[in-house]
Chains A and B, each alone.
Chain A
Amino acid sequence: MNNIAFNVALPLLTAFLLPIISSGSKSATRFVGPFVLLAMLWFALAYFNVLQHPVAIALGGFLPPLGISFHLDNLSLLMAALIPLMMLLLWPYNNREGFREESLLLLLAGAASGLALSGDLFNIYVFYELLSVASFGLAAANRTAAAFAATFRYVIISGLGTVLALTGIALIYTQTGTLNLAHIGLLASQLNNPVGLSAFALIVIGIGVKAEIFPVNGWVPEVYSTASPRISALLAGLISKLAVLVIIRLLVVAYQGSQALTLLLVLGMLGIIWGELSAWHSKDLKRMFSFSSIGQLGMVLVAFSIPGDAGMAAGIAMMLHHLVVKPGMFLLTENWNGPIKKLKGAATSSPLAAFLFMLFALSMIGVPPLPGFWAKLLLVTGLVEANAPLYIIALVVLLTATVIEAHYLMSTALKIFSRGKKKHFKKLLQTPFNLTIATIFGAVLLAALFTLTPLGNKLNQIATESSDRSLYIKTTLSLKLPPQVKQQVSKVQ
């Protein structure tokens, strides 16, 4: 039953060996990556099928509070399956320039899987750092002057985040004397003081660098407009969600008090305001999408700040919706990267891309039959039911943001669908490869439209399961405890 560890071990192993493989045979380099990703997908889905209730796995055979454990429930397995899936869609199949980018992507996949599964605070930090360093390399892979400068700023902001997160982890360790999330959850009462809460704030801001959380998202527009659209799609679509997942785990297990929720709510609102206003102001598609990504992740954060299952369901729905829509949008920016004014006539030169843009835009705004509407509806009802002054303010912010969103997306759509000059046609033509992948994202969005009821049921099940604090603790600590810890545990209880 222990083979989920392969999801971390296999990509890392392949990445280590890739330089050697590539010196042997160039074609093998191109095949081995997708093959490993397929294997990862298979492992994750195999677990997904047999999983009845959450399971914890002790790595190295050392029982959880002492050793590191992986926590497998529907949410973490869903992410573990989405990672190889997204990677396969955004894999550089036509890259002939050596093995380094493939190697970094595999490392990213391994780190992301570890981040999704891990149940140990410091282990999460290690995988988060691995994820960061791999994404630095990918962000600079374009090798233009602007990409280097943007990546440098990204590295520094991330480095600052690392220091803050590490400080937060050290503070939690000084307060509880343990690193396992479930064990921390058991001792949560010791964290309900200024030191514990500021540890949470530090970790949120530190990990939030990847989740594009408000004060530490200065790198977002720069990196996304200098990196290749595939990498932007990966970072905005997948990687940001994993960072959010870590924050949610910590929130559910150890910080159920209102102060931590208020922090998330305020950061989320600031993110929405800043992101949407900047997107409204921006003049080219790449930066517009980067800023709107910040705004969307602010909405995700606001959703998770609603206490109880409702918030969890809304947050996961928003997260999954953004995970499908944003990569599709970023793929369309490859050839539409000029100023929005020059997009005139884009619809006539590649009608499918224009249709996809319209679909994604409408879903993101939340126009009724599309999945984005249902996600936003969950969020709005959650905010109304939470019934506290701050949540009402958040509701107002959210609705205003939606209006702004609708304005800038629809005015762009107007430009795309308006008649343009003939000589621009060639420039606005989308490459068939990007278009195919974007179409797949669009098809997933439309498929979700027709399976709303089963999806909703599954979503509710995942939300109830992952917002259940005692279930998480019980799962990990039900493995046989070493006597000393058992004694301490019973003392605390």
Chain B
Amino acid sequence: MTTNLIHWLLYGGAMGLIVIGIVGVVTLTNIFRIILALVIAEAGANLLLVIAGYRFDAIAPILTGQALSAMPTTQIMVDPVPQAMVLTSIVIGVGVQALALALVLKVYKNYQTLDLREIHHRMLADIDHSSGVISLLSEEQPKGERPLPEPETKNVLNSGGEK
């Protein structure tokens, strides 16, 4: 009975993490927090995988001591396959998160905001502008993509601050 309860709690916890993460991704507007919510959801999915291979009173699937010579072992071991999968999926998550962070850096540099709705509006305006659908900027301003912030000004500010 208790094992069942614990099992249910574990599954419920993993699912809860996923739900928290997804709701966070959908409702939050700060893009950095959205990444954090995604991390939580990923943690939930990974937890679910680990639990799928868990068995009570079992040891880690590593042969030590006597078990090395006497194969197959009599000890119960947990399932090694989900552990390998979780290893893979954690590394995948790290890669995606790093890329997302790099994009946040660039988005912030270009739009000076972390608010998703504002970024979305600006982006749509930029797309409209570059395809010329609604002329948002007046005729005097240069045509084409909005230039990236110029590095020269930044250096001037930096060195000015140092003095």
Contact = CB atoms under 8 A, between A and B. Distances in A.
A163 B132 contact: no
- Band of interface residues on A: 35 or more
A149 B122 contact: yes
A162 B148 CA distance: 32
Contact of A167 (B48, B53, B82, B130): B48
Interface stretch (B61-69, B84-92, B152-160): B84-92
Contacts of B126: 144-146, 149
Contacts of A174: 52
B77 interface: no
A324 B50 CA distance: 43
A338 B132 contact: yes
Contacts of A482: none
Contacts of B70: none
A151 B133 contact: no
Nearest to B144: A144
A286 B132 CA distance: 12
Interface in B75-120: 81-82, 85, 88-89, 92, 95-96, 99-100, 103-104, 106-107, 110-111, 119-120
A150 interface: yes
A162 B88 contact: no
Interface string A131-146: 0110011001001111
A257 interface: no
A160 B92 contact: no
A225 B125 CA distance: 12
A179 B99 contact: no
Given A167-B18, A342-B132, A160 B38 contact: yes
B123 A284 contact: no
B146 A145 contact: yes
A156 B22 CA distance: 11
Query: Which of A156, A162, A338: most chain B Cβ within 10 A?
Result: A156
What 3 pairs between A and B have smallest CB-CB spacing? A145-B110, A146-B126, A149-B123
Interface of B: 18, 21-22, 25, 31, 34-35, 38, 41-42, 44-46, 48-49, 52-53, 81-82, 85, 88-89, 92, 95-96, 99-100, 103-104, 106-107, 110-111, 119-120, 122-124, 126-127, 130-133, 145-146, 148
13 contacts: A144-B130, A145-B107, A149-B120, A149-B123, A156-B25, A156-B38, A162-B42, A163-B38, A167-B45, A173-B53, A173-B82, A179-B81, A339-B131
Interface of A: 122, 125-126, 129, 132-133, 136-137, 140, 143-146, 148-153, 155-156, 158-160, 162-163, 166-167, 169-171, 173-174, 179, 222, 225-226, 283-284, 286-287, 337-339, 342
